[in-house]
Structure formats: C-alpha cells, structure tokens
Structure 1
Amino acid sequence: MAEATIAGRYQLSRKIGEGGMGEVWEAEDVSLRRRIAVKMMSPDLVESSAARARFEREAMAIAQLRNQHVVHVYDYGINAGSPYIVMELLEGEDLQRRLDRVGRFSLGAAVAAIVQVSRGLAAAHAAGIVHRDLKPANVLLTRVDAEDIAKILDFGVIAHLTGSDQNALTSPGALVGTPAYMSPEQIRASTVDHRSDLWSLAVMAYVLLTGRLPFTGRWLGDLIIDISTRAFPPPSTLVPELSPAVDHFFERALAKDPTQRFQSARELASAFASLADGDGRRPAKILVADDEPDMAVLMKQCFRAHLRDGTCEFIFAADGEEALQALNAHPDIDVVLTDINMPRMDGLTLLARVSETRPQARVVVVTAYGDMHNIRTAMNRGAFDFLIKPLNPSDLLLTVEKTLKQVSEARKSARSGHENSLLKTFASPLLVERLDMPDRTISTLVEPGTVAFIDLAGFQERTRGKSPGEVVQLLNANFDVIVPEITLRGGVVGRFLGDAVMILFRGRDHLTNALDTCLAVRAQLETLNRRAGKNSPFARALSMGVATGDIVLAEVGSRSSHQLDYTALGPVVSTAAQLEVMAQPNQILLSGDACVEAASHFTLSDRGHRLLAGTHKPARIFEVIQRIPSSPAGTMANLDTTAEEELQTTKSAG
C-alpha cells in the first residue's frame, strides 16, 4: 500500500504501527503539505457493520477532545469502501516499549507519566467517554521542549457514560479490551463507568513502578479470578525502596468496589504525585527558576536559619526548561518560585507545565512592579501567590512560609481522607450514615423502602473440609461481586450474616433498584463462572428474598454499656429473610404486597400462598423471572390472569 493515496489527498509512505482494528501509516497531507498519520481499518473487518461503527465512533470521540495528552484527529472518511482516520503524526515510543527497555520507572518518572495520562483521561471523562483499553502500549511519549509529553492513543473500544450504547457494539458477555488491565466490573461484563478507566490507570502505575502486573493469572480463567477476588502483592514487597504510603495508595486505587476507589482522574493523580512526600519529615523542597545569578545568594541569606536546621532545601534553575528537568528529577518539590521573563521557556509557560505535571506543588510567580497583566495571567493559570521585584526579604520569607503551610495542610487533608476511607471500610454503611445525620438526637427513623436478603446457596456444603482461611477467601470473593452491584444502584449493605447479606434500598424506585440488583448479581456470577471455568470460586446459585414497606432504622443494644448498633428492623426485614430461606437456588421471591408495582417492570410467576412467621393469614408469593420493557403505568400485564384477579378481589375487599 506504500505510496497509495487515500481520498485523493493523503499519500501513504510507510506503516508505523498496527493493532486489533487496523494499521497506522505515516503519510503526507498533499493539500496542506504536512506530515500526518492515517489509521486504516483492517480489510478483514471492513464488512463488519459493528467494527465499522466502532471505528467511526473512535474518530468522533477523539475529535471531541482538545487536550494535549490525547492524540488529535484531523479528518475521517471512507476510501474505496474502507474507513480511515487522519491523526497528528507523533514521534516517540510508547510506555510499554520504554518499560521493556528500562525494566521499571523511578517514582518521579512514573508520577510524570501517570499525571499526564490522567489529564487526558479527565478530558475524555468530562466528554462522557470511557476508554476501556487503557494500557502502556496505548500511551505514547513524545518529546516537546525537552520534556516527555504523554499522549493517549487508540480509543477503538470506548463507551459513553450515558450507558445507552455501552454494549450495543459488542456481543453480550464479550471481553472488550486487554484482560490484564480490566477492572473487576469490566472483566465480568458489568456496567462500567469512568472508574473502570481509573482502575486501568492504577494498574499502569503499578506496572511502571514494579515492572510487573498486579494480577498475573496464567490463563484467562485464573486471571479473571485474580482480578475479581484476590489481593495483589504490595509494591513495597517487590521494590523495597517504595514506602508503605505507596502500598496504601494502591489499596484504594485497586479496590474491587468502584465506590471505594478514587472518584476522578485528577484525584488519583494528585494522590499518586503526593507519594514522593515520604513520611512528611523530609526538608521542604523549593525550586527557584530565575536567570539572575544573585537569586541563589538572596535565597540562601533569607533562609539561612532553615538551611542550618535542615528544614528547607533549594534547587536552582536558570530557565523554564532547566526547571522542568529539575521537577522530573525531584518529584517531591513543594514550592516553585519562578521569574516570568527567562530565556528558552518563560515563567508563565512553566506555570502551566507545573499545574499539569505536579498538581501537589504550589507556584509563586515573581515579576516586575506594575506588571498587572502578567500577574493576572499567572493567577488565572493557577499561581498560588506572587512577589514583586526587587524582592523584600521579609515579604519573601513570609510568602514562602505561607505557601509551604498550605502545601502541608493539603497533604495532611489527603492523609486524613485515606484514614477516613480506611475507617469506612470496617464500619457499617448505616452507622456512617447515622454519624452524618445533622440531628443526632433522633435515634429512630421510619421510612419506606425495600429490603433484600441474598444468600450463597449451597455455600456450607461447598466449603466443607476447607480451612477457615479458605472459607473466608471464598466468601469475600463472592461479596466482591455482590457489593458493587448494590452500591451501583443506590443500595446500602445493612449487615453481612455469614454467607448472606442484608441490603436496604430507599428513595425513588427502591423496589425496582432492589430487583435490578438481584438480577444483575445473578447474571454476573453466571458470567464469571462461565469465564473462570471449573476452578471458579464463585457461587453457582443464589437464594434471594425481597420485601417492601416501612423500614425501621434504630439504635439497638445496651446504651448503659455504650454498646449499640444502628440497624434495620421491622416486618419488612423479617419477611425478606423468610422469603430468602424459602427460595430455591437462583430464585428471587417477592411477597404479594409489592407485586403490583413490580409487575410494571418485571416478569413475575405465581408461587402460591405461604404462611409467614408473625402473620395471621398466608401471603401470596411471586418469583421474579426477568426485567422487561416497561408496560403502561398501572397495568399488571406481566402477572398471570388468576393472580391479577385475586389481587384485584383482595384490594376491593380491603
């Protein structure tokens, strides 16, 4: 295909890469006389309407993004029946090749790469785009102004955050992406959002720091089990010079439950960049970028007491480019003090680079008296403060100390956030909710909602003869699948009861959300068992009971002994628990009181009458079969005729 011309305009010269969707060629735009890259769809995929749709969607997705850390798209079209994408031509090497060459990255180099990738991801997520195949091979390092700039490539398997077309272009249950970098929810074909990309970004960070993947199953089924259920080796056990803070970062970044992870790319990047801070007892690091030779003398005079007691350390650079090199060599720099007018790279350009690559650092801009335009520009670009030349020693000292204090407070807040996250890991979500109540004198609440009990059917028989540790591991493996589906739909875990879990749903559509959760959990376990094979640790079946009505939330226990629990009580809890016991493997049982509302959204099957404990007459029980398209409001089109007639008669008699 060399020297072929695409669309009468783009003249191909040499192939520079290839992937699952097609080949990438270096080419020339003969109209604008510039070098570009052209991505051509593989000939064997051209006839696939789904593949063509994905290819077109990739072009449209990237074209929306105007971010320096995402490859730019110039054009899209069809040539001789084959789609193509025209992109900027980038020179450099991808992160995977760099990693293969160097073995592993230093903390500073890893921070520089991950922070930049996070900027591109943040732009994609803001546009409603989930990448779904983020990995080192899809990130290119290109050299710009003596600095490596990371660019995200290959948006070929993106999804949109609306979820409406998330699975429309792939086969149901198909693996889309690279398994080793997939989040637990992605690898089990659940709903994914931007937090799945954050998992992939964390896996990339782990690989850069350690030179190996956190989850290394020898075959696909084993890898699925690893990602879904098992812990990863703490990075400090693989690279001893890494601190425990690095381990804590990955405990959160690679949490199985998306709600326990970082919630944005910027939050993850900021936390990762702060890892270079160590335990906080190191000297404060200040980078001074100024081409005036007497600046170093002034700094040493003003801060001689700090230098003497070891609480302060200075690094000097003659211009912006030297400052960038210093930032790469010292990722733990706290404050950047920069002049505006410098050769090669000015202070305003440096400020923008610092904001992108070192979000935890604070920048103080130095400028001439009266230069309000530059001061305004600097503050708009994120400068923390400014100083006017000639520098007043007292003003300089006070400004730097104030800036260092702000950096310290921000990092202390980040550590406090980690501690609060750890506390929430072991505290009941209901208890955390209780502590957040504005009026803590109210000890009892009654509100409408739905309670569901989900039990791992046959778990006791399956674990007979296993050690306590093995039993706990199997139990947690299944709860790691169940709990994210609960939180995804607004549910709260009321309590773990052996091999069962009690769940509460309140607010709008609480019954629908509860039943959707039960169906989703059942489907996820079926998918995981199919993919993981005979060694799957996941439950082969679930027994589920659901009831709706007024839920009592109360403090229960011995107040005099200061031993209280905050939990759910009442007939709804009792009914749901009894229905779960009645349910056969993979059955979802619902009491008749809720079936009128449920029948608008689900197919129900009549299972007759049962006498429940604490009641005087038998209750009608229904099994929830599946989710269906919504029927007109108020109808019961999905109940069998006899059940509908009896319910109407009962309502009339009431």
Structure 2
Amino acid sequence: MSERLIGGRYVLERRIAGGGMGAIWLALDSQLQRHVALKLLADHRISSPDARQRFAQEAKAVARLHHPHVVQIHDYGVDGDVPYIVMERLEGEDLEALLERRQRLTPAAVVPLLNQAARALTAAHGAGVIHRDLKPANLFLARIDGEEVLKVLDFGLALLDVDAEARLQAKELAGTPRYMSPEQMRGQPGLDPRTDLWSLAVVLYRLLTGQFPFSADALEALRSGSVSPAVIPPSSVVPKLGVEVDDFFARALAAEPSLRFASVRDMAAAFSELVLTGQPAQAAKILVVDDEPDIELVMRMRFRKQIQEGAYEFIFAANGEVALEMLRQHPDTDAVLSDLNMPKMDGLTFLSRVGEVHPLVKVVIISAYSDMSNIRTAMNRGAFDFLVKPINFQDLKATLEKTLKHVAALRRMLRSTEENDLLRMFVHGGIVDRVISAVRVPQGGVGERVEATVAFIDLKDFTRVIREEQPEAALRRLNSNFEVIVPELTSRGGLVDKFVGDAVMAVFRGQGHLGRALDACLSVRQQLRALAFRSGDQSPYAHGVCIGVASGDLLSGSIGARALGRLDYTVLGDVVNTASRLASLAERDQILIREELGDRLSSSFECVAVGTRQLPGVSASVLISQVICRRERVLTVSDATPSVVPAAPSEQPVMAAKSSADLVE
C-alpha cells in the first residue's frame, strides 16, 4: 500500500496496471473524496522530451472528447518532475482479457461492442483526433450503473489537428504492429481516420475468430508495399460466419485506404446490417440455471417435441456466475429459468446483475413454496414470474410461452423504433445495439404496463427562429441540436419515442432507468452549454433546453392505423403528460421534476425546491424541484477487486417494485 501524495491532492493507494509508457494507480482525490485512476509517466521515460510531449498530448486529446464511450480526464499536472493524468476509475475488463477467457465471440455479441467503439471514434475523428493505437487492450468493458459500457482508452499515440502542418510532416513509426494499417507501418505522413478503421477491423476480426487476419509474412508485405496480400477469410476459421463476412473484411482491411469504408460509422452500420439481416429464423433460446445434476436431461425430455421442431433451444448453467457468462456468450437469449439456491452465486444475486449484460431477457424464478419470502424478494427485484417446486409441467410450459410472448413484444417495439425513418436520420442504426438477435414476433399490437422514466427535452424559444429564419436555416439549426441530444440519450439506454416539433421525448426502461435518464439530461445540458460557449451567442446551440422528467407506471403498446400499415410503439399515461408539462414550465437549462421524485433522488442527485406551480391542464398545484447535478460518492475498493483501470460513481438503481397477484400480502 502506497501513501505517496501526487499534485498535493491525490493519494496513491495501489498499482492496478502498467505498460511501457507508465503505470496506472488507484488513487484517492483528497479534495473531492472520490477514487480515481492516476497515470504516472514511467521513471525511465521522464528524461525523454518526446515521451513527456506524448504524455501531455494524451491529456489534450481526451480532454477534447466528453463522450460516454471515451475514458474521461479529470486533471493533468506535473508533480516535481513526473507528469500525471487523472482519469475516471473503471471497473471491468478490457477486450484482451475477455478474449483470453472466451477465445472468440458470436457476431451478435460483437455488434454492440463495435457500435459503441464506433460512436467513440466518430466523436474523436469529428474533433480532429486520430487514436493510432486501437487494440483489444485499449477497449475496456466497464460496469457502470448496472450496465456494461465499452470505453476507448489510451490516447497516448493520438494525433491532433491543432498543428495541421506538423501532422502532415509527422513520420514517426508508432503503434502496435499487428493492428497498424499499412500506411501507419510505413511511417507515411498525413495519416487520416482511415488508419483507425483498419485497426478496429483487426480487433473485430480477432473478436470473431480468435485469430489475426494476416500472417507475419503478409504483414511484412503490407509494410513494404511490394504486394497486397488477401485477408485470411474468416469463414475458413469459423465456417458459420459465411462468405458475406469474408466480403466485409476484404473491404474493411483493404491495403489502399480509399477502398475501405468511408467512416467508422459506415463500417459499423454495414456489419450490424450484415448480422441482423443474415440471421435465419431461430429457436427461442432459454437459459436454465440450476445446480441439479439431472436438470439438463429432464428439460430435454420434457421439451423434446419443441426441440425437435426447432421452437426451443436450451442452454444450461450450474450457478449464477456461470449464467452471466453464458448470457454474454448468447446475447440472443430470450428467457431464463433460475433456481434460487445455488453455490457460488445464488439466484437473487444473479437476478440483481442480469441487467448488466442483457437488458431484455426475462427471468422466471423457481424455488420451494416454503421459500416464499425469497420469491417475493425476487419479484420485487424484477423477476418476470415464478414457479414453485415440485414443478407442474403444464405450468412450466404455460409460463415459458407467456414469457417468450412478452419478450417478443419488447423486441417488436425496439425493431419498429429502429425502422422509424426520422430516428434513423439522427441515430444511424444506434438502436441496432439493442436488437441483437433475430426478431421472432407475432403480428399485431401487444400492450403492457411498464415502470419507466420519460424525459421531455424542449429547445428554448425556438418558435421565434421558425418565424424569422428561412426554412432551411431553421431546420439546420434544429438538427444541429438534435445531433447532440440524441446520442446522449441513446448512449445511456434511452429510447427516443418521438420528435415533437422542436422537442425530443425519450423513454428509459430497465434497471436504474431514473438515474440513467437524469444523467442523460445533465449531459445534454452540459454538452450544449459547452458548444454554445465555444461557438458564441449566434450558434445553433445558444438556445439552451427546457427539460421535464417524470417516472412511474406507463402503458406501452402499438397505436396507429393498420389499414395504412402504420403501427408504432409508444408509451401513454400521466407520466408522459407530467414530463411534457414540466418542460413547458422550465426556464432555460432547468431540469424540473415533481418534489416527491426529488425525495427519492436525494442520495444520488442534488435537487433544489422551486416551489408550488400550476401545471398546464391540471387544476391542483404541485410542488416542483429542479435537478442541479449528480452528487459525488465515496467508493471503497478492496484488494480483492479485479484489476481495474480508469469509474464513474455507480448509483444504486431506482427499481420499480414488481409483484405477482399471488404475492400480494
């Protein structure tokens, strides 16, 4: 344990990672009383001007990028002679460690990872930053607010466009050879973002096959430029990938940059579409979690007809720990049957962590009738249903059918939203992250009651712009704001339900939905403020936003006219109306909530009472509060914690209590 003080503020606690450029330490920020990750330049590099410049360059590069999929920089300085960077602390593992455990991933599991990395790199390239060292070790799967979020790390080799002339003349050979593009290996000046596309494509190839796309001899040929060797077809390594995937990599890893995809967004969208459209109709996948040795034999016998007909596919795990890993390997799982009493990780613990790896899957709990107290706890933690032992097969069959029908309805909702042309303009397939398996959905609308949070984000005084500016200019101004707002919402699991004039309505469901919604709204406000400050009062971002947030019970279902072929999923209820009315009362950059909601948030967010207000269309006055910021929390880390690198403080999710009629006391 080290007690060394850095920068007069940061107390080093223990080393958690290291490399050629420096070491990363877990440190305590003594002023804000929070844990951070602190990177120190290696001792043998301190005397090198190039190393010191590169270290400072990393801080500048990341400071440009306030993005949910890029590790965030809190501070930079020099302690004595030693430069240091202070970053957010992340808990989880990098993709290199994931590959060591799993060897390779399914295409469906890779899609959300690729899309998150693509969003980060799109932001970086838009800010004039080229990473130059993308590899699995620099892509980190972090656990944040009950979800797994990919973060891009280590911008130590990044090129910035601050000095365009210097970048054009730069000829240094830097990077990790197996992931470097041919032009980067040759030390060619004037590198552009397409070098990052190559590196990301190599990472993608490894995730799918567990191997590299080129032999050592082929890499040498690429470096010399003598020939352009073909990519080893991924289908020759994993036959079920198919020739379409071979064609994708032939383009993504073209030696000539102009033959690659035009942008990282285009590359990710092409792969997502390939996976989604290339999947045939599949059996409903059911994970059974139980330590009984005969459970697999029993389930296969009981459901042999459904298995033979291709309706059901079963996978098995002996405890909750293994079950989480199985869900990572099988992201197209629809339902889980889980026992409560198991070794290593019991059913209740497993239930509390399911949302981290699979937000759509529904869990049916199985336990003895005498364990009704734990069953009740499981239902309140979000279990979809329960069965008691000894299990009646007809009850099990009916419960599975009901659960699978419910999951199918959810998938239909997400798919219909993805196909909304207006949303596609702004998100470019971002919703694909959340529809990671073939959609097996019955025709017709399905309604349900859900616990969710609605955020209504309105641009301040935009009506004046519509009156005074030309239509094209007004729409450009509006869309510039939406391009900032929508990614902040979707990156935190929000689903854009609709655009209403100059406002956006988003719905957050699942674990921690209220906290995620408020984090998204705070980030929207911060991003627009920063852009307005940099761009001036006449910029499109100078309007500010008026935000209303409400949470509770909603009706979710399809509405529209079947005769017109238009049935859209949406949410209805007082929560929607309240969020909209609060937004209409909000002043510029205010986030308004009902006061009773603020009481629930007091431990996680700083809220200030605004007073009594009359909501439009409501006769009775209500008490209103505004959300100021997220509270900082002190996190403790034991020595048993796995190796971590640069984590935003994790909130305790605000869970909606679910119960079955059988459990009402």
TM-score, length-normalised on structure 1? Answer: 0.48
Work out which structure has the larger RCO, using CA pairs closer than 8 Å and 6 or more positions apart in sequence.
2
